[in-house]
Amino acid sequence: MVFRDIHPHAPVHLLIVPKKHIRSINDVVAEDQSLLGEMIAVARDMAAREGLSASGYKLLFNVERGGGQVIFHLHLHLLGGWNR
């Protein structure tokens, strides 16, 4: 699933969320490696759809409370749009 962050930190702030419940990146196991690759591919495709490929963007996982994680279901942040 992909949706816009309700508290965006960039002009474009999307969340890429897998259907499989994984609490955090610390809980990823070997069988989840392809899922992470799929999440990155979705992020790349969404960046292109949002017109960010040429200007650049960031991909980010927040990990545990100390790393800024507040939703304990794995998700990848796509941030960009500052220089479109």
pLDDT tens for each residue of 17-75 = 999 999 999 999 999 999 999 999 999 999 999 999 999 999 999 999 999 999 999 99
Query: What are the tokens at 81?
Result: 């749009």
CA 22, 24, 30, 33 torsion: positive or negative?
positive
- Catalytic sites, residue numbers: 75
Kindly report the pTM of this predicted structure. Answer: 0.94
Domains located in the chain, CATH noted? 2-80 (3.30.428.10)
What secondary structure letter does DSSP report for 24?
S
